[in-house]
Amino acid sequence: MKILVTGATGKLGTKIVDTLLKSVPASQIAVSARNPEKAEGLQARGVEVRHGDFDRPETLDSAFAGIDRLLIISTDGDNETRIRQHTNAVAAAQRAQVGFIAYTSAPNASESKLFLALVHRVTEEAIVQTGIPYSFLRNNWYLENEIGSIQGALAGAPWVTSAGEGKAGWAAQQDYAEAAAAVLAGDGHENTVYELSGKLRTQAELVSVIGTAIGKEVPLLQVDDAKYADIMKGAGVPDFVIPILVGIQQGIREGTLEVESNDLEKLLGRPVAPISEALTQIIHRII
Taking the C-alpha atoms of residue 146 and residue 256, their distance in angstroms, rounded to an integer, is 18
| pLDDT tens-digit series, residues 250-263 | 999 999 999 999 99
Domain co-membership, 121 together with 145: no
pLDDT digits (tens, 9 = 90+) for 133-159: 999 999 999 999 999 999 999 999 999
* CATH for 283: 3.90.25.10
Q: Is the pLDDT of residue 284 over 90?
A: no
**Boundary residue ending a domain (121, 139, 157):** 139
- Are residues 21 and 134 located together in one domain of the fold? yes
d(CA 240, CA 244): 8
Instruction: Say whether both 29 and 89 belong to one domain.
Output: yes
User: What is the chain's mean pLDDT, rounded?
Assistant: 96
Q: Which domain holds residue 154?
A: 140-172+197-259+273-287
Number of structural domains (the chain) is: 2
Confidence class for position 79, pLDDT limits 50, 70, 90: very high
Specify whether 110 is located in the same domain as 60: yes
Rg of the chain over Cα atoms, rounded to whole angstroms, equals: 19
Question: Looking at the domain assignment, is residue 180 inside a domain?
Answer: no
CA 203, CA 222: separation in Å to the nearest integer?
A: 9
State whether 93 and 58 are in the same domain.
yes
End-to-end Cα, the chain, rounded Å: 42
Q: Does residue 287 register a pLDDT over 80?
A: no
Is residue 183 domain-resident? Answer: no
Q: Contact, 224 vs 162, CB < 8 A?
A: yes
Per-residue pLDDT averaged across 229-251, rounded? Answer: 94
